Amino acid sequence: MSSNQISPAVAFPLSELPAPHAAFIRDPEDILQQIIDKYHELTEDEFNPLLESDPQLKQFEAQAYVIWQQELRAATMALNSFLAYADEAEVEHIGATMQVYRQENEALERFRYRVALSWEARNTAGALEMYRYHAYAASSEVLDANFKTPTFEAWGREGDRIYFDVTDDLGLDNPRPDHVLGVILANNESGIADADLLATVNTHLSADKQRPLTDFLALKAATVINYQVGAILNFYPGVDHQISVNEASAALDIYVAERKRLGLDIAVSGLDKALHVAGVQSVELLGWEQDLLIAWDSVAICTATTISQGIVND
């Protein structure tokens, strides 16, 4: 596993948060049984309807349905107050309370992430997440952004002067401690940010508005690492193999799309997990002997996937 700096929101996406207790909704049958039990408790009469059409049973069923509808509405309203579970309109309202507004053509999940990241905009010390938030805010064409400073090591002192060795220049000419290098991943098929997008982000991150006056910023497009995934699926007997292949293909598409971010490795275990859908006994990954490690300024983009049917094991 690489030691890349990853945004907390990327490393632990909102979608993986457990559902809050407010999402608990009772089954209508359980509510009906509770009504009947309460009826027995209050009247001490046995209620054993012989027919489904019994009028009193229908009354109890109607009460159970109304209660279930009320609980469903209450749970939905409660869930919509949580950023991770709110639907489209509610996410925009949550964003508005934090003065974060949806950009034109901005995908819902990108906007949800940007709302969560907006707390970093209140940081005035030039932290990584502050830079990342403002890069996202610059344009909906920014899929991801990462920032880093050169590193130095003091090796000597002469009077009032301290001398440093550059331990990581990030590819910058004459790097200084106040330099910041930003990497932009474009929201397009190639992932490559053109000059116009870099200029848009640079303008938004100007010292007059967002960037600390002591920082000198340089921007570049992400380095793209293309890869392909080939796999053979072996099946349990008695399953529809094509259904399993289709489900595995869809799961793989989701995995590679989620990993199309700066600094995210493509793990063999992640590919294997995505392909291990119902009905698949084992997965043979072709040409994948080790993880594909991705540097902080790079992105892995899958250009092709091929899934073949293998054998059926007894």
Instruction: For 181-191, write each residue's pLDDT tens digit.
Output: 999 999 999 99
Residue-level pLDDT at 119: 77
91 or 119: which leads in pLDDT? 91
**pTM for this structure?**
0.69
Residue-level pLDDT at 124: 60
Distance of CA 47 to the CA centre of its chain: 51
Residues near 234 by beta carbon (within 8 Å), at least 6 away in sequence: 280, 281, 282, 283, 284, 310, 311, 312, 313
Secondary structure class of 233 (helix, strand, coil): strand
Given a contact cutoff of 8 angstroms between Cβ atoms, the answer to whether 266 and 299 are in contact is no
pLDDT band at 54 (very low <50, low <70, confident <90, very high): confident
**Average pLDDT across the chain, whole number:** 87
If one counts every other C-beta atom within 10 angstroms of the C-beta of residue 197, the result is: 20
Please check the confidence at residue 192 and state whether its pLDDT lies above 60. yes
Q: Of 92-96, 150-154, 170-174, 181-185, which one has max mean pLDDT?
A: 181-185
Q: What is the mean pLDDT of residues 255-278?
A: 96
147 or 4: which leads in pLDDT? 147
Residue-level pLDDT at 249: 97
Angle subtended by helix axes 108-117 and 128-138, to nearest 10: 140
How many residues would you count in the chain? 314
DSSP per residue, 59-101: HHHHHHHHHHHHHHHHHHHHHTTSTTT--HHHHHHHHHHTT--
pLDDT tens per residue across span 193-225? 999 999 999 999 886 767 777 788 999 999 999
Residue where the block lists tokens 């209140």: 122
pLDDT band at 45 (very low <50, low <70, confident <90, very high): confident
pLDDT tens per residue across span 95-109? 888 888 898 888 888
Both tokens of 135, joined, read: 């890069």
For 2, counting Cβ atoms within 10 Å of its Cβ (0-12 exposed, 13-18 middle, 19+ buried), the class is: middle
Least confident of 135-144, 151-160, 186-195, 243-252: 151-160
Residue-level pLDDT at 202: 93
Please check the confidence at residue 91 and state whether its pLDDT lies above 70. yes
For the chain, what percent of residues have pLDDT higher than 70?
Answer: 92
Please check the confidence at residue 123 and state whether its pLDDT lies above 70. no
For the chain, what percent of residues have pLDDT higher than 90?
Answer: 47
Residue where the block lists tokens 């009247």: 43
Residue-level pLDDT at 118: 82
Residue-level pLDDT at 8: 41
Please check the confidence at residue 1 and state whether its pLDDT lies above 50. no
Residue-level pLDDT at 177: 86
Residues near 267 by beta carbon (within 8 Å), at least 6 away in sequence: 1, 291
123 or 16: which leads in pLDDT? 16
- List of long-range contacts for 24-27, beta carbons under 8 Å, 24+ apart: 24/75, 25/68, 25/71, 25/72, 25/75, 26/68, 26/71
